[in-house]
Amino acid sequence: MAEVTVDVRDGLGWVTIDNPPVNALGRAVRQGLWDAVATLRDADVRAVVLTGAGRAFVAGADIRELGQTPVEPYLPDVLAAIADAPVPWIAAINGLALGGGLEVAMACHARIAAPSAKLGLPEVNIGIIPGSGGTVRLPRLVSMATAIKLVTSGKPIGAQEALESGLVDRLGEGDLLAEATAMAKDLAASGRPEPALARDLVAGDPIDWDAQAAQLRKRSRGAVAPLEALASLKCAARDPVEVALAGERERFLWLAASEEAAALRHVFFAERGAGQALKQAEAVPADLSRVGVIGGGTMGAGIATALLLAGSYVCLIERDDAAAQTAKTRVADTIAASVKRGAIAATKGESALARLGTDTEYAALRDCPLVIEAVFEDMGVKREVFTKLDAVMPAEAILATNTSYLDVNLLAETTKDPSRILGLHFFSPAHVMKLLEVVRGEATGARALATGGALAKLLRKIPVVAGVCDGFIGNRIMAAYRRDCEFMLEEGALPHQIDAAMQGFGFAMGIYAVQDMSGLDIAWAQRRARAPHRAPEERYAHIADRLCEAGRLGRKTGKGWYDYASGEAEVAPEVTGIIEEESAKAGRTRKVFTEQEIITRILATMQREGQAVLREGIAESADDIDVVMITGYGFPRHKGGPMYMARCAD
């Protein structure tokens, strides 16, 4: 089956890209397009309609080919041939037009899009930039400000926005191909429009390139591709077309061979490969159109919001009517904030909220095939919840816990059928964060696992399967490096130095700023609960405990690892004093840590704990660990993850 088919009908040429699943622009498609241009140049056609078979126009390059030596025909040459065609080529954008796909569409002389189409240049997400004239053509179709947004963010836009910005010329409201035919005939009659490269830049407000670069540098946290994309657009604004095209290609080629792009490709495939056990679970998942949530605090309300926005009905159980009302308000506020941010339409928010029911009786959950518990992190409270659920729920219902640390096997003991119990560890805010740790207990059955997989799919989350241990994959690794950071404090570092090193490496925030934001008291309670089980010879830093004893519980108390009296985080002399006292008590001579030493040590701890997690079978693969640390804990994506970095260093 040819990847590109050519047809002549009704005086028009028809070119269809058919390379399932998403019409990626591999070598065969490029060759097919190249041949199509040649065939149609000699055919008696007045215009050509180019479209994609299936749900995509062209969703991008074939990522497996990136990072290898490019093979002919090269995309820039194919696109130049399309643009040079004697008759107009019309891109009929039936679905996704991303990356190289949008570059193909931009090389055509006109564009018509289905209202459901999505268009974008997401190259920076895999460490590269458009490499076939995308940054030179784009500002000749849309304003430079829009071009900068599209190329440096990598975020796609919808067809309506594409129409308003000038990226497409028309929307095909009804039958796209029929409307493309009409457009082709119009253009055949009126004459071929100039190809993008022959047009002037779209007029717009002048761009302050230095300010743009400064902003982007801050946002991209050490990733270079977004800055190179901006630089390429700046050349497009300033240089003759040929110079800008050659410069873009040069940047594209060196970026494609860069460590950053290799790391981002690793993450791309690791995310798609995550959660293998869920894909293999041969069982019919529970129906998710109605889901129960117990506890409507931070997490329960977030989980309910995610479910409601995905179209499910939610029955939320709280301890009493007042708590139920508070939970409902929390969900309503979260949805309202999403509407205000423009993340969802107001009507979608309203219908989501209308699917929320609250109750105080577990009997209300009986028709929910899945129930997710998100009550206090306390084994006694959770066991009571599961005992009650076991008594009330039909035998086939799947029961999940959102516990962060507790033993899922012990919770499963409270039920007659432990195969229906699993952990579903969401991250806060649950309606935003992409990661879902699906925790498999000793007895968790295939149906429970399949339900975890189906839930991740419904909520568009990335599921990673974790075994039972203290903290599963992510919290366990984080606890390990948090402990080691406290040892570094004892040995001579200060919190702001560790945070600066982490931010310099690419984390959005350092570990102490994060702790201040989420509060120090929960971890304190955990340490106190574990104190009796600690071996006397185990090294233990008392610094965090002393902060809590001094009422320094984080931002909510106006002070934690930092002082917040001014509203900003400032180095706290009291904390420095406590740290120095604890160093002395532990008999340590304080030394100066460089940023590199701090990062090397944090990475080594993450990697050591990651290896243990793998050895013990808690994670299915090293790639899954990278996915957890990147999507759940702010590890910089463009570094590929701690396990990937360890592999590269070998």
Nearer to ligand NAD among residue 248 and residue 318 (C-beta) = 318
Among 122, 154, 300, 445, which residue interacts with ligand NAD (rule: CB under 6 A)?
300
Q: Does 414 bind ligand NAD (CB under 6 A)?
A: no
The answer to whether residues 124 and 104 touch, using CB atoms and an 8 Å cutoff, is: no
Size of the site for ligand NAD (CB under 6 A): 24
Provide, rounded to whole angstroms, the least separation between the CB of residue 484 and ligand NAD: 22
Q: Does 376 bind ligand NAD (CB under 6 A)?
A: yes
Contact positions with ligand NAD (CB under 6 A) in 427-446 = 427-428
Q: Does 605 bind ligand NAD (CB under 6 A)?
A: no
Q: What mask of x and - would describe binding to ligand NAD in positions 315 to 334, judged by CB under 6 A?
A: --xxx---x-----------
Nearer to ligand NAD among residue 303 and residue 493 (C-beta) = 303
The answer to whether residues 157 and 165 touch, using CB atoms and an 8 Å cutoff, is: yes
Buried (b) or exposed (e) across 456-477, using 16+ Cβ within 10 A? Answer: bebbebbbbbbbbbebbbbbbb
DSSP string across 476-498: HHHHHHHHHHHHHHHHT--HHHH
User: Catalytic residue at 3?
Assistant: no
Q: Does 305 bind ligand NAD (CB under 6 A)?
A: no
- In 239-316, where does DSSP find H-type helix? 241-256, 259-273, 276-280, 298-309
> The tokens 């241009």 sit on which residue?
37
Q: Does 631 bind ligand NAD (CB under 6 A)?
A: no
Angle between helices 642-649 and 259-273 (to 10 degrees): 130
Q: Does 375 bind ligand NAD (CB under 6 A)?
A: yes
Nearer to ligand NAD among residue 14 and residue 427 (C-beta) = 427
Among 88, 172, 296, 453, which residue interacts with ligand NAD (rule: CB under 6 A)?
296
Q: Does 381 bind ligand NAD (CB under 6 A)?
A: yes
Nearer to ligand NAD among residue 220 and residue 401 (C-beta) = 401
Catalytic residue of the set 3, 65, 72, 103: 103
Contact positions with ligand NAD (CB under 6 A) in 179-198 = none
DSSP string across 435-461: EEEEEE-TT--HHHHHHHHHHHHHTT-
Catalytic residue of the set 123, 318, 437, 486: 123
Going by C-beta distance under 8 Å and a sequence separation of 6 or more, which residues neighbour residue 322? Answer: none
Among 98, 119, 335, 385, which residue interacts with ligand NAD (rule: CB under 6 A)?
385
Going by C-beta distance under 8 Å and a sequence separation of 6 or more, which residues neighbour residue 324? Answer: 296, 316, 317, 318, 358, 359, 360
Return the structure tokens found at 62.
């074939």
Q: What mask of x and - would describe binding to ligand NAD in positions 210 to 239, judged by CB under 6 A?
A: ------------------------------
Q: How far apart are CA 628 and CA 605, in angstroms?
A: 16
Nearer to ligand NAD among residue 298 and residue 557 (C-beta) = 298
CA angle at residue 118 from 112 to 123, to 5 degrees? 115
Provide, rounded to whole angstroms, the least separation between the CB of residue 338 and ligand NAD: 18
Q: Does 409 bind ligand NAD (CB under 6 A)?
A: no
Q: Does 377 bind ligand NAD (CB under 6 A)?
A: yes
**Which H or E run includes 581?**
helix 573-585
Q: Does 582 bind ligand NAD (CB under 6 A)?
A: no
Q: Does 628 bind ligand NAD (CB under 6 A)?
A: no
Binding piece for ligand NAD, criterion CB under 6 A, among 288-296, 460-468, 498-506, 625-633: 288-296
Nearest to 513, CA basis, from 496, 489, 525: 496
Q: Residue 86: exposed, middle, or buried by beta-carbon count in 10 A (0-12, 13-18, 19+)?
A: exposed
Return the structure tokens found at 554.
């984080």
Nearer to ligand NAD among residue 214 and residue 391 (C-beta) = 391
The answer to whether residues 443 and 398 touch, using CB atoms and an 8 Å cutoff, is: no
User: Catalytic residue at 228?
Assistant: no
Provide, rounded to whole angstroms, the least separation between the CB of residue 244 and ligand NAD: 47
Q: How far apart are CA 359 and CA 357, in angstroms?
A: 7
Q: Does 403 bind ligand NAD (CB under 6 A)?
A: yes
Q: How far is residue 410 from each of residues 102, 382, 601, measured CA to CA in Å?
A: 52, 10, 35
Among 297, 357, 492, 634, which residue interacts with ligand NAD (rule: CB under 6 A)?
297
User: Which residues of this chain interact with ligand NAD, rule CB under 6 A?
Assistant: 294-300, 317-319, 323, 374-377, 381, 385, 402-404, 425-428
Q: Just list the catalytic residues.
A: 103, 123
